[in-house]
Amino acid sequence: MLKHLVYNAKEIKEGLRDGWLKNEPPNYGLNIMPQWPDEERTHLQMYENTSEGTPISPVTATAEELARWLSDNNASSFGEMTATYEQWLAMIHRESAIGMVMHDGHIENGVESSM
């Protein structure tokens, strides 16, 4: 299952200033998924949960911007599989996806199969 994380503006500014949030590979920020109150959630970042919740994207301001980045950069949705912009966007709005689905001997990533 993939999860997204939102940061408030103060945390982003402090994180970039203090160095714990870097908007560059390989980690694009923290190696954990902190939780913020709903009213403080202003930005998005995609995490995977196969490891210790490693970020797989930079911090973005909108779901559309995040979906575009994931699609344009062939971000992994399961192993070497990726997803389209529309698939990523739908999953972001759902806030989760299963890892993969197998049917008729064909494996689909969870982002693709849950549209």
pLDDT of 67 over the 70 cut? yes
Tell me the residue range of the domain where 27 lies: 2-113
Which of 26-30, 62-66, 87-91 shows the lowest mean pLDDT across its residues?
26-30
Give the pLDDT of residue 4.
Answer: 44
pTM above 0.75, yes or no: no
Q: Residue 50 and residue 73: Cα distance in Å, rounded?
A: 19
**The total number of structural domains that make up the chain:** 1
37-65 in b/e form (b: 16+ CB < 10 A) is eeeeeebbbbbbeeeeebbbbbbbeebee
Residues 6+ apart with CB under 8 A from 87: 77, 111, 112, 115
